[in-house]
Structure 1
């Protein structure tokens, strides 16, 4: 095996190599790695160490993680002491979950076989995860079969996980350990685990499609049975049809995604869902009305209604850009004056093209990226435009120029062989969010300032100027004025990026918003897991409201996730809360009398009644006060039996 590997490294494709003991899967992979310039002496994979970036990737893979939770828990318990570990990677080969023998998990850290590690073939050579992603088939890679010398003391078996809807590979489950754990049937184990994860995803998708159908039926006031109807999910995949014929004359079958539709149904997640969907439709399908479908306050799909005998109309989005932006603000949960003032500034800034640079200030965890997305959603030129985010704190000083401006082939050691576009090019025509801009090296800042003023970039190693039109939304948890005074941030760049400044208040300054957010995260998590929401005693709610929340909204969300995992009886008292929250002044010693349980449903009903009284029955103002959309308010009124003539 070693001789065959050496032949590949020497560039030999002589026929004698075929007589050496190497499987075709491994041979093909080795040659891909050699042709791609992979360092054969490499002893670890690259890894993302920024916690926020890792958490963001995990949130983006929540469906995969939830589907894998049960098989991972079952298998993980059996791996203790076996020398094996089970890992879950997303579609990009980045590890998002690890479980198994503690010693092996610890050893895996030496090669970055842990959460955040990237294990695609093009960065770490032949391995069970990356090669399974490349081939789309279950693969085992044993010891010397790895391409990189520093990983040959491991064995692994990986199986791709496919989306049950369209068959695309969305992740890999892999069993890894030292060579003595190798058994031929390891590949059967991971394949069975992959199939169980796929079944769980299929069940989840089926449930979501049913909820989308119910959401349409609840809002379909003007829909007639004779109209054409096409309902798509958040990926733009058709899940239901009625009286709809494709351009080729073929009817669209329920739950099917013909290849003819792949040209117009890209990933449609994020704040630009409706506009992206509208502009992606083929000309023959633009004679329709587009209706957003919301689940739990988030747009998770859309209904395309083709009215009978209508001719020559274009896609009609019923809301103006400013209205879209204000609806997008519903993802920023809260009704306090401080948060509503910040949302208002963001919406007004988004509506004008005169503001090309904005600065969002706020402590870690307050949700600064949500405001950047809100500005993107509210832009008058937002239709189909990109939103690109870069965390400046996660980029090394040496790679900053390449990340921002891109590079040409061979611009520096380690540069991509095909060259690379920077984030300014990728965001052209849209919004570029530079998170933690205060972390940007001082010697890079003049180049950023020049791009903002001249609106052209030069890739590293290239003399050609490339025009860019980008709205920059910078964010920071530092006091940039102090950074300027200390000489760590350029004064001219500060004034350039802070043309409009939005201060996002910490959670401790937002009054009752902590309880609104608690209810929001509790309900969303319960719906995703198809379980009942948690209930909180009055003492627990008092403690949560009195707590200072140094980690802000992120800390609150993490607490709710933790409580969902550890609570057995679904009722949360002071004893379930961390000590730093439970032991607040005035509440110590009150745990003995847990008090009555206040359900979120009752709290929600009371909040609506109070808002109706305060706003004298004006439903638009009530919805704004509660931080929900009018359709959601209507459903709540019906749910709680509150008469609309209440006021």
Structure 2
């Protein structure tokens, strides 16, 4: 009997053993699996629990991206590996950290697996890349160890490419050989070779890391050595580093909130602090230190310090936990039914609004356009009884403003609300004070962007309580709550996590008004039960993309567009004008296009 015959007999027995084990778990999820490696048994359990069909391909697709630094470092190594694989009928693949297959131009593509094909175990069952991501290490699978029947003709290997400075996965390198071409193989040695390739890619990433990134890294390491137990995050607008304390204590949306606050430091170059409410830490103080990087670029080191117990969690959580604290007042509870938020800024505003209701006081509400001043004024007025609204900017009557106010007061409302009060003239202010003086029981609520001599005069006469409404960029924790409330009012109650993160990371110049416009537009565009990133208006996606560029990248983007316009789209000429290589030009064009920007 030849050695090949012996090997063939052994492989047949291995397939039969694997078939029996696989059939048992297909019949009963909690079946005992024997005869396969423990790692494979775990993978099969996970695949079965995720509802993967052992005989059919779901064909799930997701948007995946491997960053340009990783692609540049990986190209020479994977080209060589792909040449070797080609001689044996195999393929080299590259997968994004989210499990989506990418097809870089320097690799041959397997036509049976399109770009974006999800190799996560929960999507397609046991495979090299998905198992490597799940186990957090390099893995190999024999043909019979795949969960799906149509994938059982291949030897599969997967190795993680990690960031050389922290534990984040940058990509997964996959290697596949058909058993018909490679009948006998030493999987352990093959995996060792593949992991060597991944290691060399990681070394090249470290070598290619720009001096800008190294400056941020050095500062980050200095701070983390001093405050190892404190959550610390370093950002430069493109990369982020987190220590173990931040990784373990922050939840998914917390990073987007912190990122939003850090953007202002990267834009201004000035260090600052902010108080926020995070899901993982509760009320916390952010100390954001500007770090001067290469050229005009600025990074930021964020230190997060929890402020005692989590007293300012969202009200649903707060109401579900018994405490010894004093129960909320009736006014505060009623106001929560009309306005939405969870941040410290929101809680401070709401407390003042409740005081105005309880003390039956007039109030002047200051804040940026669209921040929610009128909604808060309406909520306060609604709890008092009857009210009349007069807008100093958008007139609904042909009467002079003072006559309109006098006519409104003549109906004896409990409250008169004056919108855009900072646009009142001083003569208007004098007349309004006289009119209000003739109706001493009526209370006045003014909304204004800023204080003026007129608003001050009216507020002093009425004994008004001053209430500030912070812009969304200073209370980013409120954004997902507001967006979800808008979706519920619209009739669709689900917004994807990625979409909420994008909303939290935007600056919202027109505040809640602009947020509502974007969310409603996305809900109208969505077709399924969940609104996703793809449903966001294109105009918002472009603005948000520009907001994620550093000042240096914004300047580069402008120069690149100008060169391409002057060269009438001729890339060779544009590269010459910019004095860079064509390959560099192509990479930078791909970088900006990946952020939704036109060139």
**For this structure pair, what is the TM-score category when the shorter chain's length is used for normalisation?**
0.3 to 0.5
Pair member with larger Rg: 2
Normalising to structure 2: TM-score of the pair? Answer: 0.46
Normalising to structure 1: TM-score of the pair? Answer: 0.43
